[in-house]
Amino acid sequence: MRRTAFATLLAVAFALALAPPARAGGDFNGDGFDDAAIAAPFDPVLGAPTGSVSVLYGSGAGFGALSAPPSQLLTAFHFGLVPRQRDDFGAALAIGDFDGDGFGDLAIGIPGRELASFPDAGAVGVVHGTPFGLDLDRVQLWTQASRGVKDEPEPAADVAGRGDELGCGLAAGDFDGDGRDDLAIGACGEDVGAVENAGAVHVLRGTKKGLKAKKNQLWTREALLGSGAESGLLGDALAAGDFDGDGFDDLAMGGWLTRTEGFATGAVDVLRGSKKGLAAAGHLPLDPVTLLGVDPDSFFFGNALAAGDFDGDGADDLAIGAPGTDVAAVSSAGAAHVVYGATGGGLDVATVESWDEVAVPTGAFGSFDQLGSSLAAGDFDSDGRDDLAIGIPFADVAGLGSAGEALVLRGGPGGLTALAFEAWSQDAMDVGGAVEASDFFGYALAAGDYDGDGAVDVLVGCPGEAVGTVGGAGAVIALYGDEGGSGLTATGNDVLSRGGTVDSTDGLEGVPLQDASLGRALAP
């Protein structure tokens, strides 16, 4: 009997060890299927490019059954705003359970929103989930003028400059371990002292009633490192993950225009979570010159970020896009770097590894491919370790400029590996949509289990995709993971667009409009 019980315990432990990491995705209606938000930030609402967001609900058929509940179309109107040109509604998206009710809530960045006559001051809208999906009557609107929020909206330092751009980047994570997600919000155009566009990150706390400004935090690189930090666009990329395995989410903040010796090397700052939220103690600054031992150059390090447990050790690892990196004398071919986390220790800079089109021969290697422009992590092959999808949106495919490609690296006991890597494009069999110049396949990526089979799926944004005769309307391709262990597959995939006229695809609410750029931002 004791032996049987022990064997049962071993079996349970083994099953738990191989269970897919519970990370990617967000479920707005609590039906067990991850849902998704797809932005068209240049959608010409009221005739001007202001932006909109489509919400899709997962099902046992993924996104192949768009009827229960139907897709939703969100605009500035839902937050009591009149859409204005260059709002960039949906430029950033994040999903988190901010009120702890078990239903995912959606945060939408509106960084171009004018406020108090200050252009590009920015705003963030939040819509709460319910058993029936997102409740468009239960919303919040946050700006730097909201009561209790630190700092305030400011004009650009000069006429041609940028405003604060609150909402340029978003990430949801439980930084204080109270069971409710908090929201990190980038204000990448924030001036800090004499440093223009240094950038800053606000953190709003999750409560039973949703996000609150009480005990909110404001982070700048200058405050963390001193006045010589020369930060640039801090908060334009954000990612939450538990890098030290202590049960509190940590936050990685990218500032891809941070300067070193006059070059836009870029940098990433990592803050640790605690019972009191994010803390400066244990702050880890990362930059390519120090981390990689290279001479300064315009790497745009930190342009994209993703957290995932690639080696299955229980601590998240951090993937960092550096799309401006020159590779083998090829300009801006791009690279992605991974720093591995460890339980009790956090991110270990000694573990850094780099991936580019020389290390992984995708066949699309060329100038200005900009590998690392987007990143998404998830367990696509159900082996208990996260894999990494890397966008190469400006890659030439079949001789067509900027058709775009996405690379997938598998996770393993030693971390990511190029063995059995996958290179996806619209030139691949059954992916959907014709490969065309300037489709920008891979411009944005998101990962979630949209069909509920236990394997994580990937959404690939193609914001330049023509829908029928409408150029630049944009589309999104869903590639589904295989619970059998083979990874992503194009079999049964979905091509999503408004109007449903790309390869007889699944139509979203609304109609395709010129240069709307659907798929330019995605969540989760």
pLDDT > 70: percent of the chain:
91
The band of 12, judged by pLDDT with boundaries at 50, 70 and 90, is: very low
The band of 500, judged by pLDDT with boundaries at 50, 70 and 90, is: low
Q: How far is CA 31 from CA 60, 371, 522, in A?
A: 10, 35, 21
So what's the pLDDT on residue 78?
97
DSSP 3-state of 223: helix
CA 360 to chain centre: 23
Q: Which two tokens stand for residue 371?
A: 């590998």
The band of 342, judged by pLDDT with boundaries at 50, 70 and 90, is: very high
Q: With b meaning 16 or more CB within 10 Å and e meaning fewer, what string describes 52-64?
A: bbbbbbbbeebbb
Average pLDDT over all residues of the chain: 90
So what's the pLDDT on residue 436?
93
Q: How far is CA 445 from CA 197, 221, 283, 389, in A?
A: 26, 27, 28, 8
So what's the pLDDT on residue 277?
97
Q: What residue ranges in 143-260 does DSSP mark as E strands?
A: 166-173, 182-187, 200-207, 210-219, 237-241, 250-255
So what's the pLDDT on residue 50?
96
Mean pLDDT of 335-350: 97
So what's the pLDDT on residue 355?
98
Give φ, ψ of 255 to 5 degrees.
Answer: -135, 85
Amino acid 4 reads: T
The band of 505, judged by pLDDT with boundaries at 50, 70 and 90, is: low
Give the model confidence (pLDDT) of 98-155 as tens digits. Answer: 999 999 999 999 999 998 888 999 999 999 999 999 999 999 999 999 999 988 777 6
CB 163 within 8 A of CB 153: yes
Least confident of 196-210, 226-240, 330-344: 226-240
Give φ, ψ of 223 to 5 degrees.
Answer: -70, -30
My answer on whether omega of the bond before 524 falls inside 30° of 0, hence cis, is yes
pLDDT(450) > 80: yes
Amino acid 484 reads: G
Mean pLDDT of 478-484: 87
Give the model confidence (pLDDT) of 394-449 as tens digits. Answer: 999 999 999 999 999 999 999 999 998 999 999 987 788 889 999 999 999 999 99
Q: How many CB atoms lie within 10 A of CB 270?
A: 24
Q: How many CB atoms lie within 10 A of CB 114?
A: 17
So what's the pLDDT on residue 114?
93
Q: How far is CA 50 from CA 85, 88, 195, 217, 499, in A?
A: 5, 6, 29, 29, 19
Mean pLDDT of 43-56: 94
The band of 65, judged by pLDDT with boundaries at 50, 70 and 90, is: low
The answer to whether the pTM exceeds 0.85 is yes
So what's the pLDDT on residue 501?
52
pLDDT(54) > 90: yes
So what's the pLDDT on residue 157?
56
| 33 CB-contact burial (10 Å; exposed 0-12 / middle 13-18 / buried 19+) | buried
Cβ neighbors of 72 (< 8 A, separation 6 or more) are 54, 55, 133, 134, 136, 509
Q: Which helix (H) or strand (E) holds 11?
A: helix 2-18
pLDDT(288) > 60: yes
- Highest average pLDDT, of 62-76, 145-159, 184-198, 313-327, comes from 313-327
Least confident of 187-196, 201-210, 457-466: 187-196
Q: Which helix (H) or strand (E) holds 374?
A: strand 374-378
pLDDT(20) > 80: no
Residue 423 pairs in a beta bridge with: 407
Which position has the higher pLDDT, 88 or 494?
88
Mean pLDDT of 258-264: 90
So what's the pLDDT on residue 5?
32
So what's the pLDDT on residue 361?
86
Q: Which two tokens stand for residue 206?
A: 């999750």
What's the order of all strands across the beta sheet hosting 374-378?
374-378, 387-392, 405-410, 417-424
